[in-house]
Structures are given as structure tokens and as C-alpha cells.
Amino acid sequence: MLSANPEITISARRGFTLMESRYFDGVTLGIAAASILLFLATGGTVLPELVRYWRGLGGEPDVILANALILNIAVILFGWSRYKALSRELVERRKSEEQALRLADTDPLTGCQNRRSFLPAVNALAAAAAGSGREVAVGLIDLDHFKAINDYHGHQIGDGVLLATAARFRDLLPEGALLARLGGDEFAFALAYHNEDHARIESLVDRLVGSAANAIEIGDAQLEVSVSVGVASSRHAGDADFRAAGGGEDLMNRADIAMYQAKKRGRNRLQWFEPAMEYEQRFRGELEAGIRRGLRAGEFVPFYEQQIDLDTGELIGFEMLARWQSPDLGLVNPDIFIPIIEEMGLIEDLAKGLMAQAFEDAKKWHPRLTIAINVSPLQLRDPWFAQKILKMLVAHAFPASRLEIEITESALHDNPGLVRTTLTGLRNQGVIVTLDDFGMGYSSLSQLRMLPFDRLKIDRSFIRDLKHDETNAKLVGAIISMGVGLELPLVAEGIENDAILNTLRGMGRLKGQGYHYGRPEPADQVLERLSALDLLAPEAGTLGEHEPIDLVETSPAQKTA
């Protein structure tokens, strides 16, 4: 019968032939042994007779016995040669099986161990170390930005970097230490040591990190590589439970947690595991689980912040700001959950849900009010981003001209060509495109001219200190004249009080937003506000002709001031 799993069929077949050959091996050996015994029994009398007969010195020997003897000799010779051939075959087969096993345990490029063989080896090392009262250190090493080397210089150079790095580690590690390439650009080492040598291990790990940082020369290329390393030692694990738990796997997990921290703290560094990291990791895990649940349960909701024409005080629209109404944590701000959702790869799901809610909310507002939506740099990497937005606009029957999307400067660098195509596509359909957090210092003037923006939003860090800080006032002045030069309208965010507002008003024609006009608020409060201003959509309320409304005079923030 054929097995569905080819591996099983092959290994089963290989096992059978090996047994088979061993069986025949025995049989031939048996036949040869029997023949030898027979030879000894008959040969003693028949052989001298036969020799005498051939020399013409005696009569014909017994024909049957003589034939039996000759047959006997033939069987011995045949058996012997078959035996030799079979044992040769067996040796070769054993060798190739050993080689296959070695290959399965080895990384073919660097000759280091691979992931498959590393963990059992660490476990064995940990068990042996525990038995002899020694400690084990396990380190995980990740090459920073290795993908860029591959992309930029090609895979051959990339392989060269991996080879050179592996060779450096191998040179530094003491005898008996394990070195593995776990995959891609990730290496791992493990070594056992006596507790009193801990300082030496620390300096060895330092040297490993340092050695990786030395430039690598491959052909004409000079490559600078840095590594992020996380190390965990059974010494820090301390308790007996840990050792009983089989050591190796725990050490690898802890080294992994430490490496994650090393990366988070800016790469190119070494991080020893600390117990607090495990709590952080657990908290992070719980947060992620909560976010997943929250996304399914609709706990992420849009809040809205007013946007005002500073000259007239007229309300022109809202910026949508995401909030997480967590049953455990309360109202959570996006600075906390957006980066996590981005790392979880769920930003598109979140954005889609929020945007759908925002379109439905905004349809209840006066049709001249716009809705600004923040777009994550990750979303802009999607070549279908513009199409997806336009599709949603159609699905919700929401006019493109009422949608404004806010892009941060950092989003412009990943793939300027794609970003430009995306933004141009959206603009051509009437969507307003704004550069958010402007002035944080990423975009060059030429980039600004090349990219199709409708507005610049001056980062709130400049606005915040406007009234105390001369330099900031000069900076804002410069930004405003730049906007005028580029013919781009400007929005100031983070207007917290009258003093800032008045300073800004004196600087040029601006739009603005900030706590001065009120905090971001949920959809129902926006409706109350709009109802009071007679700014609900015609179907939903009693909307008259549009008149400019001076919100500065009537805003709740102002009244309480």
C-alpha cells in the first residue's frame, strides 16, 4: 500500500532493505560456515585422493564425494565474495545514513548546528551542567538590518556576511560551546561554565558582539554589520524549579525576551535577561490578547476633535482619533495601542472598522464638515491602499471631498514612488491630503514640492511652547512663510489657550485645533455640539443655510476659562 507521506515510505523502505541485507548476510555467512565444515569433513579424505588421481598416482576417487568437494569449494568462494560485497554495501549505506542525519542537523551554509539540533543539544548541555554544578549561558544573536544587506548587495554577499560572522563567533567560542544558525540572520550559542567564571563569560559575550561589529570585506564591498544579542544564564534563573523544568528551553525563551529588549532599546547592543522583562512580556501578551478581543467586540471607537478656521472661528471639520474603551483598562489612548496593533499586523483591520464608523457618524453632520483620518505608515506600504479607501467611500456613499487623510513625515521614506502614486490617486478623486506632524525634521523641501499635499499640519510641539519660547515663535514663523512659499495652507495643532491662539492669529491665516476648543469627544457628544450649532445634516436636523459660526466665543473651554 502506498503511504500518503513520502518520507514515511522512503524511511520504511530503507529500513526494510537494511534488515533484508542483514538477514541475507547471516544466511550467506551460515551457508559459508556449513560449507567449510562440510569441506573439513569430506576434504580430509577426498582431497588427497583427488590430488593423487590428478598426478596419475592413484585410482579415480569416489565421484560423488569429489563433486561434492568441488561444489563445496565453489560455495565457499561464492559465499565469501557475497559476504564481502554485502558488508561493503552495508558500510556505505550506514555512512550515507549518518551523513543524511548530519545534514539534517547542520546549517548547510555555515556548517553550524541548525534549529532542529540546537535545542536538544542545549538541553543535554544544561543537564550535564546541572549534574556537575556548572551554569549554562544561552545567547541569541540577530544581525540588525540584514535584509537591507541582502536587498542592496545581493544574496551572495549576504551569504558571505553570514559565513564571516559565523567564523568569528566560532573563533571566539571556547571548546565545547554550541553554535547554531537558527535561520535567516539569527544565530545562537550556548556554553557551560563555573559560577566563579561568570565575569569571564560576560566579557566573552561582549567580545562576540564586538567582533560582529568589525567591518566585513567581501570583494570590493565593505560591510558594516551590527548585532542585537540577548543572553540568559541559569545563574540568574536561580531556583531549582527552573533546572527541573529542563533548563534549555527556558534559557532560550529568556534569551529571546532579552534580545527583543535589545532590539527595542535601539539594536546594536547586548542585553542580559532580567526577571522584570518576563513580567513585561507577560503584560504585553495580555495586552495583545485584550486588543484582539477588543477588536472583535467593537471596543475601538472614533473620538473627534474640532478643527477651526482661526480667523473666523468657524468649525470646519473634525479629526478622528482612535480610542480603546477597554473593560479592564478604561479609556486607552492611541499612543499606547497603535504601535502594538501595528506590530501585531492588525492596523488595517482597526483602520477599516474605525473609518466605517467615522463615515457613518460624519454622514449625520453638515455636509460641509470634513473628517480627517490618521493613516499609519504601514497602511501606505499597501499598493492597494488608495483603491481600498475609494472603495470604502463608495460603499458608505461618502463624498471623497469630505475626507482628509493625514500622513506623517516618516511614512514618506519607505517607498517615495509608491507613496506619491497613492497620494496622487486619492487627490485625483478629491480626497484632501495633509502632511501631519510637520517640522519634526524628516522631509526635505524638495520632497515637499514633489509630493502632492493640500495642507501642512505644524507639529504640536512647536505650538505648545509658542508663548514662552522666542526660538519656537521664530520657527513657527519660518514654517508659516515656507507654507506660504509652497502655497500650502497650514493647520496648527495643540492650541491650548488664548495666548497661543492670539500669537498664531498674528502670524498669518491659519486653521487650527487643540484643547482650547475642547477635548476629543465621542460621536454622540459631537452630535449634541452640532445640534446646538445647527450643523446637523439636513435629513437629521433642522439645518438652515450655512453661516459661519464663531466657536471661539461659544466653546465650553472658553466659557470655563
- CA distance linking residue 137 with residue 59, whole number of Å: 86
Give the H or E element holding residue 222: strand 221-223
Q: What is the Cα–Cα distance from 525 to 24, expressed in whole angstroms?
A: 89
How far is the C-alpha of 324 from the C-alpha of 347, rounded, in Å?
A: 13
- With CB under 6 A, what is the number of residues at the site for ligand C2E? 22
What gap in Å lies between CA 381 and CA 264, rounded to an integer? 22
Of 409 and 436, nearer to Ca ion (C-beta) is 436
Task: Give yes or no for residue 376 binding Ca ion (CB under 5 A).
Answer: no
H helix runs in 214-315, sequence order: 234-237, 240-244, 248-264, 275-297
Return the biggest CA–CA distance within the chain: 145
Name which of 299 and 496 has its Cβ closer to ligand C2E: 496
CB of 188 to ligand C2E, least distance (A): 35
Least distance in Å: CB of 435 to ligand C2E? 11
**Does 305 contact ligand C2E by CB under 6 A?**
yes
Helices and strands (DSSP H and E) totals, the chain: 22, 17
Give min distance, CB of 313 to ligand C2E, in A.
16
**Which of these segments, 95-103, 287-295, 465-473, 514-522, binds ligand C2E (CB under 6 A)?**
514-522
Residue 335 within binding range of ligand C2E, rule CB under 6 A = yes
Full 3-state SS string of 473-515: HHHHHHHHHHHHHCCCCEEEECCCCHHHHHHHHCCCCCEEECH
Q: Does the footprint of ligand C2E cover residue 515 (CB under 6 A)?
A: yes
Phi, psi torsion values for 520, nearest 5 degrees = -55, 140
Question: Which of 89, 454, 496, 534 contacts ligand C2E by CB under 6 A?
Answer: 496
Q: How far is the CB of 377 from ligand C2E (least distance, A)?
A: 8
100 vs 440, beta carbon nearer ligand C2E: 440
Q: Could you say which of Ca ion, ligand C2E, none residue 496 binds, taking C-beta under 5 to 8 angstroms by partner kind? A: ligand C2E
Measured from the CB atom, is 256 or 319 closer to ligand C2E?
319
Q: Residue holding cell 486619492? A: 426
Closest-CA residue to 319 (of 358, 262, 280, 263)? 358
Query: In 10 A of CB 487, how many CB atoms?
Result: 6
**Residues 315 to 334 in contact with ligand C2E, rule: CB under 6 A:** 321-322, 333-334
**Member of 76, 307, 437, 453 binding Ca ion (CB under 5 A):** 437
Residue window 99-138: x/- pattern of binding to Ca ion, with contact defined by CB under 5 A = ----------------------------------------
Which partner, ligand C2E, Ca ion, none, binds residue 334 by CB below 5 to 8 Å per kind? ligand C2E
Binding window for Ca ion (CB under 5 A); candidates: 250-258, 372-380, 467-475, 535-543: 372-380
The set of residues, in sequence order, having a beta carbon less than 8 Å from that of 239 and lying 6+ positions away, is: none
Helix (H, G, I), strand (E, B) or coil at 421: helix
The grid cell for 59 is: 585410482
Name the residue among 443, 441, 457 with its Cα closest to residue 490.
Answer: 457
For residue 376, state whether it binds ligand C2E (rule: CB under 6 A). Answer: yes
Site mask, Ca ion, residues 383-422, x = CB under 5 A?
A: -----------------------x----------------
Residue 512 interacting with ligand C2E (CB under 6 A):
no
* 8-state DSSP, 538: T
Task: Between 81 and 333, name the residue whose CB sits nearer to ligand C2E.
Answer: 333
Nearest distance from residue 527's CB to Ca ion, in Å? 22
Q: Which is nearer to Ca ion, 50 or 407 (CB)?
A: 407
Half-sphere exposure of 529 (CA within 13 A, CB side): 23
354 binds ligand C2E (CB under 6 A): yes
Of the pair 256, 406, the CB lying nearest Ca ion is at 406
Q: State the distance between the two ends of the chain, measured CA to CA, in whole angstroms.
A: 87
The Cα–Cα gap between 329 and 325 comes to 8
Per CB under 6 A, residues contacting ligand C2E are 305, 321-322, 333-335, 338, 351, 354, 374-376, 436-437, 460, 493-496, 514-515, 520
Interaction site with Ca ion (CB under 5 A): 374, 406, 436-437
